[in-house]
A = this chain, B = another copy of it.
Amino acid sequence: MAESVYKIVELVGSSPNSWEEAAKNAVETAGKSLQELRIAEVSELDMKLEDGKVAAFRARVKVSFKYLGKE
């Protein structure tokens, strides 16, 4: 219904393999509450380094949840 209120949440997922996997991890951890939603925006990409090598790819994604009026 058009009048629902949503809350935007910024999550950070990570993966040793790719930004796609990192973003998927973030979205799917939150997935049960995301049933009705259609878009997750990427707000930032970075890499975790260890000993001068890439240890993980990380993606920040913004998703929205139905807001239930309490914080």
Residue-wise interface mask of A (1-31) relative to B, using a CB-CB cutoff of 8 A (1 in contact, 0 not): 0111111111111111111100111111111
Residue of B with least CB distance to A16? B2
Number of interface residues of A (CB under 8 A): 61
Residue of B with least CB distance to A38? B49
Residue of B with least CB distance to A37? B49
Q: Return the contact of A67 from the options B30, B47, B49 (Cβ within 8 A).
A: B30
Q: Nearest 7 pairs between A and B by C-beta?
A: A31-B52, A42-B45, A2-B56, A6-B12, A8-B10, A34-B52, A65-B71
Q: Are A38 and B48 in contact (CB under 8 A)?
A: yes
Residues A40 and B49 in contact in the complex (CB < 8 Å), given A2-B56, A5-B12, A25-B3: yes
